[in-house]
Structure formats: structure tokens, C-alpha cells
């Protein structure tokens, strides 16, 4: 019996408790739901799949894997068009030297495949390409997030801010040689720069299915050659520039200097490295004496840096892969050599680079 003769009804007490619980649920359900959602997003389930990276971060190992795949996929288009002799070549303009630049179906189809594969995998990353991307011709190309075993074994995950990354793609390097059916010079290339410095380079040769890749402070699937011949140094240059370089090169390195005219910046960088291919020439120094676009040289620059080599302007300045898409100062590239001494020998070529 309750005090003052008041009897408590069990049913009334139950209703009162239910009302109290309803008020508490209304007050705290939003808070608890928010905390639960935060917990679920922050902590992956044990044994479950890894959570995606935050939109502001990029894993360079994953970006390397996609870059290799993009170069190969683009190369497949390049080879298919050339094998079918369906180039549809046309002039797209002239170089500063007055030579006509060619554009083919191989350039365009490779560019579409490479650009949209990289963009779908890393939408927050800036991508610069040699060819214009037509949104009306957009292609859905997805990445299954698979990382090749050789990359897994040699490269550790490394995240960087997405806004610090710039990707440079060359969907078909050596287009002129491509139209002439000089297949050995043709490459597809992808480069990743972080804060303007090239850190990932991929150079793929579509007609031999050879792919070289490297990551600065990471690893690579290619090596530098161990030595060079000081008595008969070999200088590799663009086919169209061999006359400009030959006289000064012989004055610099001696009359026994061998000048190797070649097409494609990717091919010329590979000439400095240990590439076991019958169609790949070998050289000790790569020199380019005129203006050149950054998508032509970024991948090779990254590969050389990863292996301890150098690629600079002819005056010795590092090339930044931000801002404009062109490099005004020419270039000189070497590996396992005294790069500074090479630069000091080439004062006359630096003036030529601005013409």
C-alpha cells in the first residue's frame, strides 16, 4: 500500500516508463547513429576488405599499377591501328622548327583509353595529356584494383595528397616514326609528378610488349648499364636535330664520338639503360637541343631519377612538372656519369635550345 492511501497501477507505471524511453530515444538516437557511422567508417571489419582511401589522398603504389596498365592498354590501341594500316594521319600543326606534327587514329584511341582509365581510378588527380580529351567521346574504363605481383614485392604503399599529384601521359611517342612504320621508336608513357618532381615513370614499347617502370625511393623492373665507353662515347639525339648536335658533340667528347639519330624521347631514355631487346640501341648520353613538351620527357626523367641518373636542362636546371606543358631549356640525360661535368662541356648547346 502506497503512502497517503494512493495505490500505484502496474499498467500506469509501464506506460510512464515507455514514454520516458521514447523521449530518451528521440534525444540520443541521432547522436548514437552518428557515432556508430563514424566507428564503421574509421575501423575496417576484421578480415574484411580495406576501406577506400580518403578523397584527399593517393597511394603511389596503386597509381603506379594503374599507370602500367594504362600504358599497356594504350599500346594495344597503337599496335592495332598500325597493324591494320588504319592511321588516318593528318597534320595537327607545326613545331617551332617548322616541321609538321602528325596526328593519327593511334594517338587518339590510345589517349582515350589511357586518360579515362587513369581518371576513373583517380578522379581527384590532375592529368595532362598530349592530345585533347573530347568529353563527347568519353569511354568507361574501369580498374579492378589489382596490383601486379612484381609491384607488390618491390613497392610499399605510400600516400600523398591528391592535390600534390600531376600525371603526364604521352599516348604515342614518336608519331612521325609511327607513320613511317619505324616501330622500334614508338612508346606509350605515363609519368607521375609530386609537387613538380617526377617520381613514377612508365615506358611501354607496344610492338615488343616491353614495359619499363620505376618509382623514386621505391623500386623498378629495369637497371642501369654498368659502364660506358669513354673512348668512343655514344650520344643519342633526335633524328631531326643530329646535324645541330654533331659538330659540338665531337668538339666536346672527341672525334671518336658516335652520334645516334633516333626517334622518340622514351626510346632515347631506354637507350641509356639495360634493355635486352634487339631493336634497342645503346647510348651514353641523351641530348635534346630545342624546346620539348613535358609529357615527352617526364616518364624518362622519373625512371632515371629512380635509378640514380639525371635529366636536366642544358644549363643544369631541374625540370619542374607543374605549370606550362613545355620545357624551354633543352635537356641532357645521363646515368653513371659525372652529370655536372657533362653540363660544363656544353655551353654552346644551351643557346640553341631557345631557337
**To 10 degrees, the CA torsion angle through 87, 89, 92, 95?**
100
Rounded Cα–Cα distance for residues 125 and 142 (Å): 16
Listed residue (146, 79, 136, 85) closest to 110, CA to CA? 79
Provide φ and ψ at 142, rounded to 5°: -110, 155
- Binding-site residues from annotation for Mg(2+): 130, 170, 172-173, 296
| Residue 211: active-site member | no
| Residue 166: active-site member | no
Q: Nearest 5°: CA angle at 223, between 218 and 228?
A: 135
Q: Which of these is catalytic: 104, 175, 257, 312?
A: 175
Strand partners of residue 288: 331
Query: 63: how many CB neighbours lie within 10 A of its CB?
Result: 24
Q: Which of these is catalytic: 104, 107, 188, 211?
A: 107
Alpha helices in the chain (DSSP H): 10-42, 60-83, 105-121, 149-154, 175-179, 242-253, 265-270, 294-306, 339-344, 347-352
Task: Cite the active site residues.
Answer: 107, 175
Amino acid at each position: 500500500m502506497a503512502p497517503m492511501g494512493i495505490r500505484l497501477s502496474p499498467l500506469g507505471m509501464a506506460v510512464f516508463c515507455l514514454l520516458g524511453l521514447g523521449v530518451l530515444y528521440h534525444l540520443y538516437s541521432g547522436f548514437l547513429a552518428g557515432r556508430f557511422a563514424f566507428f564503421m567508417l574509421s575501423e575496417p571489419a576484421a578480415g574484411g576488405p580495406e576501406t577506400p582511401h580518403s578523397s584527399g589522398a593517393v597511394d603511389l603504389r596503386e597509381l603506379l599499377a594503374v599507370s602500367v596498365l594504362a600504358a599497356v592498354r594504350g599500346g594495344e590501341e597503337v599496335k592495332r591501328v598500325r597493324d591494320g594500316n588504319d592511321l588516318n594521319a593528318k597534320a595537327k600543326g607545326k613545331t617551332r622548327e617548322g616541321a609538321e606534327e602528325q596526328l593519327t587514329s593511334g594517338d587518339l584511341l590510345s589517349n582515350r583509353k589511357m586518360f579515362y582509365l587513369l581518371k576513373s581510378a583517380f578522379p581527384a588527380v590532375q592529368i595532362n595529356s598530349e592530345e585533347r580529351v573530347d568529353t563527347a567521346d568519353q569511354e568507361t574504363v574501369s580498374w579492378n584494383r589489382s596490383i601486379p605481383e612484381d609491384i607488390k614485392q618491390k613497392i610499399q604503399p605510400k600516400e600523398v595528397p591528391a592535390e600534390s599529384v600531376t600525371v603526364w601521359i604521352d599516348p604515342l611517342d614518336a608519331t612521325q616514326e609511327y607513320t613511317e612504320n619505324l616501330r622500334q621508336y614508338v612508346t606509350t608513357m605515363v609519368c607521375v609528378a609530386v609537387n613538380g618532381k617526377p617520381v613514377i615513370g612508365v615506358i611501354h614499347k607496344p610492338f615488343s610488349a616491353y614495359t619499363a617502370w620505376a618509382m623514386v625511393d621505391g623500386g623498378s623492373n629495369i637497371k642501369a648499364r654498368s659502364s660506358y665507353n669513354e673512348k668512343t662515347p655514344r650520344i643519342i639525339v633526335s633524328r631531326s636535330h643530329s646535324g645541330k648536335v654533331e659538330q659540338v658533340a665531337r668538339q666536346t667528347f672527341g672525334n671518336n664520338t658516335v652520334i645516334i639519330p633516333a626517334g622518340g624521347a622514351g626510346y632515347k631514355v631506354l637507350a641509356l639503360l639495360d634493355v635486352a631487346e634487339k631493336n634497342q640501341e645503346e647510348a651514353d648520353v641523351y641530348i635534346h637541343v630545342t624546346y620539348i613538351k613535358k609529357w615527352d620527357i617526364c616518364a624518362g626523367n622519373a625512371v632515371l631519377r629512380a635509378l640514380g641518373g639525371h635529366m636536366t636542362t642544358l644549363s643544369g636546371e631541374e625540370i619542374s612538372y607543374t605549370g606550362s606543358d613545355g620545357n624551354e631549356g633543352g635537356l641532357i640525360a645521363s646515368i653513371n656519369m659525372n652529370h655536372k661535368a657533362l653540363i660544363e662541356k656544353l655551353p654552346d648547346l644551351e643557346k640553341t635550345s631557345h631557337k
